[in-house]
Amino acid sequence: MKNWSLQKKTLDNKNLLIQESLFALGNGYLGVRGNFEEGYPENMNSIKGTYINGYYDVVDISYAENAYGFPQKKDKLPNVIDSQGMKILLDGELVSLFNGHHHSYTREIFFDKGMLERKFIYMTTCGKEAEIIFQRLVSNIYKELFLNHLIIKYDGEIEVKSCLNGNVKNYSKENDPRVSQENEELLTIKEIHIDSLFMSVKIATKNTDVEMACSTSHKIIGGVYESTIHESFGKGITLIKGNKHLEVTKYSVYTDALRYSKPLEDGKSILKKIMAKSFEEHLQMQVDYLDRFWKHADIIINGSDKHQLALRFSLYQLMQSAGRDQLSNISAKGLTGEGYEGHYFWDTEIYVIPLLLINQVESAKKLLLNRYNMLDAAREEAYMLGHRKGVKFPWRTISGRECSGYFPAGTAQYHINGDVAYSFIQYFLMTGDEEFVFNYGMEVLLETARLWVEIGHYDNGVFKIDDVTGPDEYSAIVNNNYYTNAIAKYNLLWAVKIFKMMKEKAPEKLDKLKEKIHFNETEIEEMKNISEHIYLPYDSELGIDLQDDSFLNKKKWDFENTREDQYPLLLNFHPLTIYRHQVLKQADTVLAHFLLEDYTDLKTMLKSYEYYEPLTTHDSSLSHCIYGIMASKLDKFNKAYEFFDESSRLDLDNTHENTEDGLHMANLAGTAVSVIYGFAGLRIKEDAIHIEPWLPKEWSNYSFYLEYRGRNIHVEISDKIKVVLISGEPVNIVINQSIYYLQNVVEIENERRKYERD
């Protein structure tokens, strides 16, 4: 089927690290990079990685000059036991794709099957050919299962050395703050067992002694085997021998002590159960799972194959990396690499959850619960920062502790509190799920709102917030960042609203919560007053919402004399040099205009966009999609399409030159969000869902599904706007600022289709 797979037909040695990320497989719990089973030459670099979401070690943070309250420890995602290895020998000759003895090479990841396949014809030095096929999947049914399937057809002796290796370490890269600087071995090998075809390795994190295990076994057609412990402790090898036709299915089960009381024993038990099914049966279950997924999650484009492929790639990789239990979230690089050390950021709340709320609500709910479970750690962080009440969510974390060693662009980003609150509010508006918001959301809203009361102050009747860093990390420690103040206003306002709702509908639950967090009802009135009087900086001369109090006092960055090879600026200029200029890493005030458009007017949005966009380097992968969404809002159709195109190809074309460290999850979400919130103009508001669609001239139509308060809705945009209520009760929907009663179908002319592109 067209646009349902990503395929490479050349080996392309130069970009193998990038392809390891692009061809990664995962299921929200387990992630495996797209490495070659048969391995690489010793002089060839590879990031051979397997990761478990939420499983981490704790390591020291080093400072040249320490200070009170600086985090002393950080979480780090370890590269865990490697079960990928399957070396092949044909008549004693080692198979390698790097000696030029192959042809008909293809590697393909199937979005509708959840399978990666690599196949080629290999020629031995004696002139005989072998057909070799590798297939693999990470199961969406059995989260612990990584499955390899190898088929070899060769008129001669075949040997396969299948390896289970606990001797692994993490990847590092010097002089890049986005990747770990230390090439660390984070794991200690505890046990290794060989029992016939079964091999098991148990390890534990070095500093926290949290165990995990991998157990593996094989089904073999056309061969015999023997298993041994390698001379290097922690490595087991199964030697499989055959002739002419050999088929090997390798079952690997990963279990960790966060989720299993006895990882090794539980893993062996799961493995025996899973092995009752063949590779083909597991593949069929994978296909059935993805049929259900795509039925609701797909965004269909007619008119651009490259964009359709990019969208499905984005949706598929996000599905593979998003945590599906309360112990995990979605890291900046997902489960595809070690960039940012596996940490979770605000990317979850502002980029990923808005997408999941469209038609994957249960997935969004799991991510919100993971944040809720961080509340106690966030209380400790607030106290460490000198606050008497409330929580301060960490800028980067796995466990809930702050892991940012550079506070000006990390801990100082207090807006993370508002971002988390925003996602809970958006969930409530989209679902109407009062039970969830009363049980979990209210506590988050009150505790985050308390912090704004703590850190702000009144000045001439308006409430101001000093010394914070907004989303634009090229402006640090500023007063009255517009985005921060606006998201604080929203946080405070909704804390008051939900409190009053809960007081009316669930007073007993509210009383228990007040007792739990020592909440005095007088705080609600204070929050209400602050939300009404919070300062949103505005420059009347330029007619723009002002990024912060000092932004216009700085000189503009000299873009004309900045070379291409000096971007991103953070890798080539001292932070102080950057901080002294009007230059943005990513959308800041413009992002606030997307999320909180009711706090300003269209004219101000337009002038702000036109002021800030030329000053933005887009060094952050989080930037293009936001500017594109606002370009759609402001009828800048050419710019909207250009930004969407840039976002959609960022990893596929490695435009930020660090895809090798893992895929950019926020940007993948941003690609899909650019269509739904950008081109379709979706906004989730208190009264209804709103859309203001337009159609790129290159496309004939596009469509997607929405789940809104128990209703399943289909939206199709062409020369007409067609909204269909598939199931659920009739509901109002706002299209181009007019209210329509959606009972069966609403179909109207698409006026914005007729606009000439700017």
Catalytic residues: 473
Q: What amino acid is encoded at 569 in this protein?
A: L
For the CA atoms of 436, 442, 443, 444, the dihedral, rounded to the nearest 10 degrees, stands at: 90
Task: Say how many CA atoms lie within 13 Å of 42 toward its Cβ.
Answer: 0
Q: Which two tokens stand for residue 335?
A: 């489960």
Q: Half-sphere exposure of 313 toward its Cβ, with a 13 Å CA cutoff? A: 29
Closest CA to 192 of 236, 253, 145: 236
Classify 667 as helix, strand or coil.
helix
CB atoms within 10 A of CB 219: 14
Q: Alpha helices, DSSP H only, in 298-346? A: 305-321
| DSSP-derived 3-state class of residue 669 | helix
What residue type is 592 in one-letter code?
Answer: A
Q: What is the 3-state secondary structure (H, E, C) of 559-590?
A: CCCCCHHHCCHHHCCCHHHHHCEECECCCCHH
- The Cα 260–Cα 275 span in angstroms is 20
Quote the CA–CA distance of 609 and 631 in Å, as a whole number: 8
Q: Do 212 and 203 form a contact (C-beta atoms < 8 A)?
A: yes
User: What tokens were used for 334?
Assistant: 């997902």
Angle formed by the axes of helices 522-533 and 442-455, to 10°? 60
CA distance 289 to 114: 9
Cβ(469)–Cβ(481) under 8 Å? Answer: yes
d(CA 739, CA 732): 6
Q: Is the peptide bond before 568 cis (omega within 30 degrees of 0)?
A: yes
Centre a 10 Å sphere on the Cβ of residue 112 and count the other Cβ atoms it contains.
17
Is residue 660 a contact partner of residue 673, using CB atoms and an 8 Å limit?
no
Are 213 and 258 spatial neighbours (Cβ–Cβ below 8 Å)? no
